[in-house]
Structure 1
Amino acid sequence: MITKIKIHGYRIYKKFELAPNKKLNLIVGANEAGKSTLIEALTLALTGRINGRGVAEELNPYWFNTDVVADFVKRRSIGVAAPFPKILIEIYLEDRPELQELLGAANSDLPVKACPGVSLEIEPNPEYLEDLQAWAKAPSHLLPVEYYRHEWRSFADKQLYARPKQLSTALIDSRTVRSSSGVDYHLRQILGYSLEPAERAAIAVAYRQVKAEMSERLKDVNDRLSEQRATPHGHPISLAMDQSARSSWEGVVTPHVNDVPFSMSGQGQQAAIKIALAMSRHSTSANFVMVEEPENHLSHTSLAQLISRMEEMIGEEQQVFATTHSSFVLNRLGLGALLLVGNDSYSKISDLDGETVKYFQKLPGYDTLRMALASKIVLVEGPSDEIVFERFFCDIFGKRPMELGIDVISMRGLSIARCLELCAALDKHVAVLRDNDGHAHDDLRAPVAQWLADGRRELFIGGLGEGATLEPQLIAHNGEVVLRKVLGITPAADLGTWMTREKTEGALRIASSEIKLIAPAYMSAAAKFIHG
């Protein structure tokens, strides 16, 4: 299993280091945070290939970190010596007997430590050093990659020319899974893991026999063609089946689903089949499985079925890396596997209490991903609290919370303690609002005190002398006359009863009213705290 990943100078990553979970890694992050780049870098270092092609074929200037390149160009432009930009990706592995041929200390760890691993380094080619130096006299932001070379080596400092068999890797990209050629490179690779060597050999022999039979059927045509002598030297032309390696059965024998060619199946079905094949316990499975956004192209029901299969099939000897934008995937597979990435940093919550993980797994529809991705969070008890708080925040600061990067999330009856534990694990800046429900503040604070942090995570509770819930708090701070006007309630109706019965409707009327209300003290304090 991979114990550590280092990525230096590759695309968004200037200097990144990650210690993944041993079994399952759910990679989340904002757009352009580097989720797909992490999968890409892993695949490059483990297989020496990307998009089914070798590094040398795909290498381009945009692989290099723009900040590193910009710094190099700036320094060289003013005559300051600066080393040429490089890319280094290192994969550190567990010290296991089957990985001994990859064992060594040819890595960047300090102090030096021997362990199995592989590295991919893209650096200037010494043979073109003069050309590079000439180019560097007037450098541009597009590096001349033609003067670069790549070194794919094991930590034993041995050159790698093909993927080591111990590092079998499957990549399933659900975003662009359809293949116009029938069987794409990744599916051929996955099918290869699903067939035993004896089975592959038997199919190859059978296919060669079929081609030989076809050649026999061409005999009459070849007899006639032999009389034409069409070549310059008068040699006869004949037709025969290609028996070379390039026409092997893998490119002709294609999988079918319900008698429909795989390439013509729905994209969601293609992704699900690839995942199932890659993770099957009944085959020589891939050691490392990379899945890009498994939720793509799937209905909610189909996604639920796929996630259930993934849960069942994750093997003890497999390490899975999956990117996702789905709270359903995140909750169902387990928040404990979450890796929140952002440029050169990440957060890991593998130490989250097991009961909390199970709690959210039972609520796969809850939008925990919003909590994971928000920079500042306000947790409120229900939709009416959310609507009213946003109006008060806007009255105080002149902008809605979201405009300032603050996400107001309704817990919809969820446990405050569970939500706070998740936020604490991710070290989020959080304000939690709740009713006092007639209880002393100290009694309400005690169950969640371990996840609070001064100036970082605070609990704000409605005043005890102003009502047990939001509605009487509003009445206490604004008076019945003003609230009746805002809500359009006649004197004949009981204000408190109407507001309690029509919570959401009342909140919507407050939000759209031209009259500004006075915010209850705990809401005002929460708004000022989270605003900073």
Structure 2
Amino acid sequence: MADAKLGDDASQTDVPPYHLGIVVIKRVRIRGYRKFRDLDFLPHPTFNVLVGNNQSGKSTLLEAVGLAITGRVNGRPANEELNPHWFNKELVATAIADRASGKTVAVPEILVEVTFDNSDELSSLIGADDLYAPTGHAPGVRMHVHLNEEYRSEFEAYMADPGARLLPTDYFVADWRSFQGGPLTQRPRALSLAVIDARTVRSSAGVDYHLRQLIGEHLTSSEQVAVSAAFRQVKENMGAEHLTALNTRLASGDELLDRGRVSLAMDQSSRTSWDNNVIPHVDDIPFALAGQGQQAVTKIVLAMRRQAEAAGAVMVEEPENHLSHANLNVLLDRIDTLSSDDQQVFVTTHSSFVLNRLGVDRLRLVSDGSVEAFTDMTEDTINYFRKLPGFDTLRLVLADRLVLVEGPSDELLFERFYCDRYGHRPIDDGVDVFSMRGLSQRRFLELAKLAGKRCVIISDNDGRTEDELEALRDDLGDLLNANRKLLFGAVDHGHTLEPQIASVNDDATLRTLLGRTNRADLRTWMSNNKTEAAIKIVDSPTQLTAPSYFVEAMEHVHARW
């Protein structure tokens, strides 16, 4: 896309430097995993807001990072969760087709590599930061899912079947290692990762895996051992005090075959450990009984309040879920306040309000297996959208092509003229029509330029001369080009849209459509009753002629790149 800033072509010189002593994800390479054929993503060191359409890969990106850092998916080791649908379906389809045509092709693989900034804590993880092209060295971890060569013959026999469409993952292995090459069996202690899914609460106890992990990380190893020992002592005391009499009676009963006798004792196994018997409370209410919004907020705040020595990556999925507008505003304030250079945050969202409040400069657009970083946003524009959180920024970012109009009546009329011309609504062609609603032309164009969008602004001339209108265009500089246009109504046809329509349509036809007599000044009535006039035109079976600047706008956005 023209003018778009790709996340993987940037040195990101405008973002803060990586901080020594803090574990920061510096680079994410994903090859062959679900949506991602070959992704090279450079996250912002402190804050990333991941946006994209449904099924674009936002959650998959976080899942892949978690897979490489923890070696687990859904709380289970990767080797126990291997799934043929993990593999990029396009790569698999190509490999199968090539095999069928007699070509010798490599077996599809999955590679997820997470590179960290250099720090003393990660010295044991330093090695080649690219398995396929090992030219640089840095600390990191990688998950490599590949064919287990011990099963090569079985794999080849399976793939010889012309009906094979999925990879037989029974013959694959998930190889989890540090960049240094040593195999990993558990998450390296220096790597801290919290994943909070605000969409769901998993587990019957109301404390899902993620929250239990967060609570555990608030205790040092010595504190955890002390609590565990104390809990074991409580169980022993309970057995001694309350089960002794019962065991005495049991001892007087019949002997077993080996002359042993039955007795009762408290379970000391790991499934009854203290952390499985502690339930967090929120305002003295058990966590399981708190509202889902409160549960989501609690998990997020706990994750972001950890001490610096436990600082790491925090991944929050859709914080807007289960929250009212007012409470979402409070939560975003907390997230912004708690975020710091000691922690790296990733947030996925479908909410423009969340994006605007957290900052459009933190936006990372996930689409078509790529991640684009909006790194050239000016500070003025960032603050502008923060002060205008209600503007639907995500519609602008995610739309194929864009039209910005003066107000709601102009939006209605553009849709009607478009339908008359092409036989369907603009959105059916991927064209999204926005009303200005306080948004300045310059801010709209700046965001459209960064997003690489084809767009047009349809504006009233407000009585300006042709020279004055041209001066307005010149002032916008390179924000306007062949793909981004600013169109004004004809100077001699009136100041706003309503007289523009009256100028290019038959007076009698327009009066009949609007239900106005000859005594009414048609232009004045339309200007004073914009919405009513627009609705009458939209609902009428009579087709009107569109003003010339509307026609030019429709042709511009209807055209493909």
TM-score class, shorter-chain normalisation, is over 0.9
Corresponding residue for 1:302? 327
Structure 2: gaps (5+ residues): 1-23
Displacement of 1:524 after TM fit?
A: 0.5
Give the distance between the partners of 1:377 and 1:285, measured in 2 at CA.
Answer: 44
Cα 1:228/1:142, change in 2 over 3 Å = farther
Corresponding residue for 2:524? 497
Which residue of 232, 246, 255 maps to 1:208? 232
Cα 1:137/1:446, change in 2 over 3 Å = same
Which residue of 337, 345, 348 maps to 2:373? 348
Corresponding residue for 1:421? 446
Corresponding residue for 1:135? 158
Corresponding residue for 1:446? 474
Question: Is residue 511–residue 522 contact of structure 2 (8 Å, CA) maintained in 1?
Answer: yes
Deviations 1:272-324 (A, max 9, x none): 11100000154754401111111111111111111111111112121111111
Corresponding residue for 1:331? 356
- Secondary structure (helix, strand or coil) at the match of 2:504 reads helix
Displacement of 1:101 after TM fit?
A: 1.4
Query: Which residues in structure 2 correspond to 1:223-372 (within 5 Å)?
Result: 223-229=248-254, 231-282=256-307, 284-372=309-397
Corresponding residue for 1:526? 553
Which residue of 190, 194, 199 maps to 2:214? 190
Q: How many residues align?
A: 531
Displacement of 1:143 after TM fit?
A: 1.8
- Secondary structure (helix, strand or coil) at the match of 2:380 reads helix
Question: Is residue 129–residue 138 contact of structure 2 (8 Å, CA) maintained in 1?
Answer: no
- Amino acid aligned to 1:31: N
Q: Does 1:117 align with 2:148?
A: no
Q: Does 1:220 align with 2:245?
A: yes
Corresponding residue for 1:169? 193
Q: CA RMSD in A?
A: 1.7
Deviations 1:351-392 (A, max 9, x none): 211111111111111111100110111111211111111111
Corresponding residue for 1:15? 38
Deviations 1:226-273 (A, max 9, x none): 223554312122211122333211100110123322122222111111
Question: Is residue 170–residue 286 contact of structure 1 (8 Å, CA) maintained in 2?
Answer: no
Give the distance between the partners of 2:338 and 2:129, measured in 1 at CA.
Answer: 35
Corresponding residue for 2:172? 148
Which residue of 68, 71, 76 maps to 1:48? 71
Give the distance between the partners of 1:320 and 1:231, measured in 2 at CA.
Answer: 61
Cα 1:504/1:449, change in 2 over 3 Å = farther
Corresponding residue for 1:513? 540
Cα 1:381/1:231, change in 2 over 3 Å = farther
What is the TM-score when the length of structure 1 is the normalising length? 0.96
- Secondary structure (helix, strand or coil) at the match of 1:141 reads coil
Displacement of 1:504 after TM fit?
A: 1.4
Q: Does 1:474 align with 2:501?
A: yes
Q: Does 1:383 align with 2:408?
A: yes
Question: Is residue 393–residue 399 contact of structure 1 (8 Å, CA) maintained in 2?
Answer: yes
Bigger relative contact order (CA 8 A; separation at least 6): 2
- Amino acid aligned to 1:10: Y
- Amino acid aligned to 1:2: I
Give the distance between the partners of 2:83 and 2:448, measured in 1 at CA.
Answer: 40
- Secondary structure (helix, strand or coil) at the match of 2:357 reads helix
Cα 1:231/1:314, change in 2 over 3 Å = farther
Deviations 1:192-223 (A, max 9, x none): 22234444334223312211211112111111
Cα 1:315/1:200, change in 2 over 3 Å = farther
Give the distance between the partners of 2:265 and 2:538, measured in 1 at CA.
Answer: 79
Displacement of 1:125 after TM fit?
A: 0.7
282-291 or 514-523, larger mean C-alpha shift: 282-291
Question: Is residue 337–residue 349 contact of structure 1 (8 Å, CA) maintained in 2?
Answer: yes
Question: Is residue 206–residue 287 contact of structure 2 (8 Å, CA) maintained in 1?
Answer: yes
Corresponding residue for 2:434? 409
Deviations 1:17-75 (A, max 9, x none): 21111211111111111111111111101111111111011111111111122122222
Displacement of 1:99 after TM fit?
A: 1.9
Give the distance between the partners of 2:306 and 2:149, measured in 1 at CA.
Answer: 46
Give the distance between the partners of 1:187 and 1:281, measured in 2 at CA.
Answer: 13
Corresponding residue for 1:459? 486
Cα 1:471/1:55, change in 2 over 3 Å = same
Give the distance between the partners of 2:152 and 2:133, measured in 1 at CA.
Answer: 29
243-252 or 121-130, larger mean C-alpha shift: 243-252
What is the TM-score when the length of structure 2 is the normalising length? 0.91
Deviations 1:79-107 (A, max 9, x none): 32221111100112112232221111152
154-163 or 487-496, larger mean C-alpha shift: 487-496
Displacement of 1:490 after TM fit?
A: 2.2
Give the distance between the partners of 1:63 and 1:52, measured in 2 at CA.
Answer: 16
Which residue of 130, 151, 155 maps to 1:107? 130
324-333 or 485-494, larger mean C-alpha shift: 485-494
Give the distance between the partners of 1:395 and 1:230, measured in 2 at CA.
Answer: 94
Give the distance between the partners of 1:526 and 1:332, measured in 2 at CA.
Answer: 32
Displacement of 1:13 after TM fit?
A: 1.4
- Amino acid aligned to 1:510: I
Displacement of 1:479 after TM fit?
A: 4.5
Which residue of 75, 78, 93 maps to 2:116? 93
Structure 1: gaps (5+ residues): none
